[in-house]
Amino acid sequence: MTGGAGFIGSNFVHHLVAHTDYVVTVLDKLTYAASREALDGLPENRVQLVVGDIAEADVVDPLVASHDAVVHYAAESHNDNSLDDPSPFIRTNLVGTFTILEAVRKHDKRLHHVSTDEVYGDLELDDPKRFTEDTPYNPSSPYSASKAGSDHLVRAWVRSFGVRATVSNCSNNYGPWQHIEKFIPRQITNVIDGVRPKLYGSGENVRDWIHAEDHSSAVLTILEKGRIGETYLIGADGEKNNLEVVRLILKLMGQPEDAFDHVTDRAGHDLRYAIESGKLRSELGWRPRFQDFEAGLADTIAWYQQHEDWWRPHKDAVEAAYAQKGQ
């Protein structure tokens, strides 16, 4: 699998080790958002880490040739970073996906491509609709545009070359091993440090949250049961606006729910994401474990409290970068 030392990918590796007998090779470039520590403690006879770039065919090809299936998690994924410099997003998300597609085509291997709901753009705050597999693509940032392009490449290779692939688009993940530049772990680690959380704008923007463990179980279900050429949306009915999330973090950590500061909103900040995951549930029988967002968030807070040694070395640099932007 690709990107298995990153946040969502490493959670999937842990899920595979716990719930299957698969042997996993992780190909990861080990960029700033990945860490070897995310794979610590996993059995060496089940998990191997190969450090390399998915955009380099001479790295990808022999690995694909020697495995039964590829699960493609690797991506540049931070919206703000894509606004500062889009080039890594084009290389990893587009050229990297193309390289993987050519390898699975050559060796006739099964592929599952992991994507995001951000390819659909956003919904109005008062719109009752949710994204479905038939929602038109309308990406609004270099990140989401590059992921939309990678999805289209996968579907084209299925149709043009008969590649055995499926696609999933998932809502916002939270849980263990998420880099502290991201919204939920940044707020949690701020509270741990006695720093007031930062809320973009009015906090009305809505995200559909899913615990990384539930994303993992959904991807495994699609890999094993999904119909070739199909797309499945993954969501856990976790719609919350950012204000609600910050208040809940403060409440769960024993702080006043108004102990946060407003900062300037992000450029191009999408209003609302919401996933309709009925196809995945009805066709493949998947159900999320963390259907209660508060319980999943409490689990996540406990993880960051217990793993300060993992995130602490990065905290000062992350906050310095945000301070430069006034955030």
In a domain, 308, yes or no: no
| Tens-binned pLDDT, residue by residue, of the chain (327 aa) | 999 999 999 999 999 999 999 999 999 999 988 999 999 999 999 999 999 999 999 999 999 999 999 999 999 876 677 778 899 999 999 999 999 999 999 999 999 999 999 999 999 998 889 999 999 999 988 999 999 999 999 999 999 999 999 999 999 999 999 999 999 999 999 999 999 998 988 899 999 999 999 999 999 999 999 999 999 999 999 999 999 999 999 999 999 999 999 988 776 667 899 999 999 999 999 999 998 999 999 999 999 999 999 999 989 888 898 888 777
In a domain, 307, yes or no: no
Q: Which of 53, 76, 117, 239 is catalytic?
A: 117
Asked if 312 and 263 touch (Cβ cutoff 8 Å), the reply is no
Secondary structure of residue 121 in the 3-state scheme: coil
In a domain, 111, yes or no: yes
Output the domain CATH number for residue 291: 3.40.50.720
Q: Which of 28, 73, 76, 143 is catalytic?
A: 143
Whether the predicted model's global pTM rises above the 0.75 cut:
yes
Is residue 143 flagged as an active site residue? Answer: yes
Residue 292 and residue 270: Cα distance in Å, rounded?
24
Is residue 174 flagged as an active site residue? Answer: no
Give the residue carrying structure tokens 């923007």.
205
In a domain, 166, yes or no: yes
Residue 163 and residue 156: Cα distance in Å, rounded?
9
Taking phi first (over 0 means left), then psi (-120 to 50 degrees means alpha), and beta for anything else, what does residue 326 get?
left
Asked if 28 and 5 touch (Cβ cutoff 8 Å), the reply is yes
Residue 211 and residue 220: Cα distance in Å, rounded?
15
In a domain, 72, yes or no: yes
| Domain carrying residue 50 | 7-180+209-239+269-295
Q: Domains in the chain: how many in total?
A: 1
Is residue 117 flagged as an active site residue? Answer: yes
Half-sphere exposure for 161 (CA within 13 Å, toward CB)? 19
Residue 87: alpha-carbon gap to chain centroid:
19
Q: What is the CA radius of gyration of the chain?
A: 19
